[in-house]
Amino acid sequence: MSTIDIAIIGAGPGGYVCALRAAKLGLSVALVDERTSLGGTCLNIGCIPSKTLLHSSELLSEMQNDAASNGIALAGVPTMDIPLMMQRKLGVVAKLAGGIALLCKQAKVTVLQGRATLLGEGKVGIEGRDTGEISAKNIVLATGSVPVELPFMKFDGQSIVSSTEALAFDKVPGKLLVIGAGAIGLELGSVWARLGSEVTVLEFLPQIAPTFDADISRHLQRSLARQGLIFHLETKVTGCEVKDGRAVVTAEKGGQGLSFEADKVLVAVGRRPNTAGLNLEAAGVTLDAKGRVETDAGLRTKAAGVWAIGDLVAGPMLAHKAEAEAHLVAERIAGHKALPLDHDNIPGVVYTSPEAASAGLTEKMAKERGLEVKVGKSFYAANGRALASDAADGYAKVISDKATDRLLGVQIVGASASELIAEAVAHLEYGGSAEDIALCVHAHPTLSEVLKAAAQ
């Protein structure tokens, strides 16, 4: 192959989006991934499969809990066929992965399968189905992240598992212990709790979902506790033993020793950049103290012609952040202007029921930055559409600057928070005020009126 414009390593929402954008801009692109199925962690073992399981289990729970009050008589007790639920999940993943492959083909992106390594001077080595070497004017690193392991309880794929296995259990674990109350722990804990597991969540910090304000987290915790999840906060896991397929996890809470028995332990204590085997150092790419690839604001690494995006670099580890960075890099390589991302405005969502979503600054962050704030709240229980839809649980919280009313942040815990937060992102990006949200006419009756009312 002659020297191409861009070689992209990693075909997740960072890599494949960068490939498609760059191809659209007229550049020649190769996209390398060790998986045969494109889409990376997000599509194959992350965001998308978890959303299918969340949907299936929510449907079951609605039938069990809301059918009768809506006047629906069911012939028997609704139950879940786990293999069929998993089959649906795989079908959704396969369809989307096929879609990406088709888009790449149409855009004339060369897709290569194999493990890639940097060989220096614009060269990338590949080992796999497409073993060989490619030369590129630019290299984009987009290899994502891998789950963090606790040193005293290594993943064994059976009893001590990461999200990958917890998305594919072949039966409902009797007892599931979740370590870490971030997005992964809460989402997958909710799935298996709805399907019948006894789920206990251990969290090191004094609140679940620690990127949210404490009041939002408390509300979410109460809602999840009503669904059966058991929480132990300020609890530090200290050890683990696995015997005959059962795990015994020891922990410490306020100086007291605790012990938990479980059929499965899901360790969801964060993810770390996936830099292993890329030969970064030799190629001149440097890492920071947290193991992230160091870049400038325009996502150039220290090595000439090498860029990095997504979970590999600073900022929240989120698919949509990787996508936005993919566009930025593609545009810049094509010689166009593209502004660096404002990390504050990247929305974060926990897809539990109710959902929790946030954009901009939390009240706590705003105060830590020395800002004086105004806070407006509005409750789903006062919203017509919410009551009509069995979705009265939750509220929206709007945070604005006390003196200027400039919108600083929005957090929502409640149904469809993941969709409603987009409006907040738009106002934040345009530098709007809380009043701007309040003055926009919102359709009635919709859940979006909860945000409008909070802004008012």
Catalytic site residues? 444
Q: Are 194 and 60 in contact (CB under 8 A)?
A: yes
> Least Å distance between CB 410 and ligand NAI?
16
Residue 254 to residues 92, 234, 337, 440, Cα–Cα distance (Å): 44, 8, 53, 49
Does 179 contact ligand NAI by CB under 6 A?
yes
Residue 47 to residues 13, 18, 20, 139, 281, Cα–Cα distance (Å): 11, 19, 20, 26, 31
Does 189 contact ligand NAI by CB under 6 A?
no
> Least Å distance between CB 319 and ligand NAI?
7
Span near ligand NAI by CB under 6 A; candidates 54-62, 65-73, 74-82, 173-181 = 173-181
Site size toward ligand NAI, by CB under 6 A: 25
349: β partners? 357
Span near ligand NAI by CB under 6 A; candidates 168-176, 181-189, 295-303, 376-384 = 181-189
Strand, coil or helix: 18: helix
Q: Which is nearer to ligand NAI, 47 or 124 (CB)?
A: 47
* Count of Cβ atoms closer than 10 Å to residue 5 Cβ: 17
Span near ligand NAI by CB under 6 A; candidates 178-186, 357-365, 387-395, 444-452 = 178-186
Using the rule CB under 6 A, which residue among 22, 38, 350, 420 binds ligand NAI?
350
> Least Å distance between CB 120 and ligand NAI?
31
Does 359 contact ligand NAI by CB under 6 A?
no
Span near ligand NAI by CB under 6 A; candidates 21-29, 68-76, 200-208, 273-281 = 200-208
- Helix H or strand E encompassing 111: strand 110-113
Q: Which is nearer to ligand NAI, 201 or 285 (CB)?
A: 201
Nearest residue to ligand NAI by CB is 182
Does 184 contact ligand NAI by CB under 6 A?
yes
Using the rule CB under 6 A, which residue among 97, 262, 349, 447 binds ligand NAI?
349
Q: Which is nearer to ligand NAI, 6 or 179 (CB)?
A: 179
> Least Å distance between CB 47 and ligand NAI?
6
Q: Are 346 and 316 in contact (CB under 8 A)?
A: yes
Does 182 contact ligand NAI by CB under 6 A?
yes
Using the rule CB under 6 A, which residue among 10, 185, 409, 414 binds ligand NAI?
185
Burial of 320 (0-12, 13-18, 19+ CB in 10 A): middle
Site for ligand NAI in 231-250 (CB under 6 A): 236-237
Using the rule CB under 6 A, which residue among 19, 176, 249, 318 binds ligand NAI?
318
Q: Are 139 and 307 in contact (CB under 8 A)?
A: yes
Span near ligand NAI by CB under 6 A; candidates 68-76, 121-129, 348-356, 377-385 = 348-356
How far is residue 300's CA from residue 140's CA, in Å, rounded to a whole number? 9
Site for ligand NAI in 255-274 (CB under 6 A): 268-271
Q: Which residue has the tokens 């669904």?
A: 227
> Least Å distance between CB 37 and ligand NAI?
19
How far is residue 432's CA from residue 408's CA, in Å, rounded to a whole number? 9
Does 205 contact ligand NAI by CB under 6 A?
yes
Does 181 contact ligand NAI by CB under 6 A?
yes
How far is residue 170's CA from residue 193's CA, in Å, rounded to a whole number? 15
Q: In what order do the strands lie in the sheet with 198-202?
A: 160-161, 264-267, 175-179, 198-202, 230-232
Concatenated DSSP letters of 353-386: SSEEEEEE--HHHHHHTT--EEEEEEEGGG-HHH
Concatenated DSSP letters of 216-281: HHHHHHHHHHHTT-EEE-SEEEEEEEEETTEEEEEEEETTEEEEEEESEEEE-S-EEE--TTS-TT
Residues making contact with ligand NAI (CB under 6 A)? 150, 179-185, 187, 202-205, 210, 236-237, 268-271, 317-318, 349-351
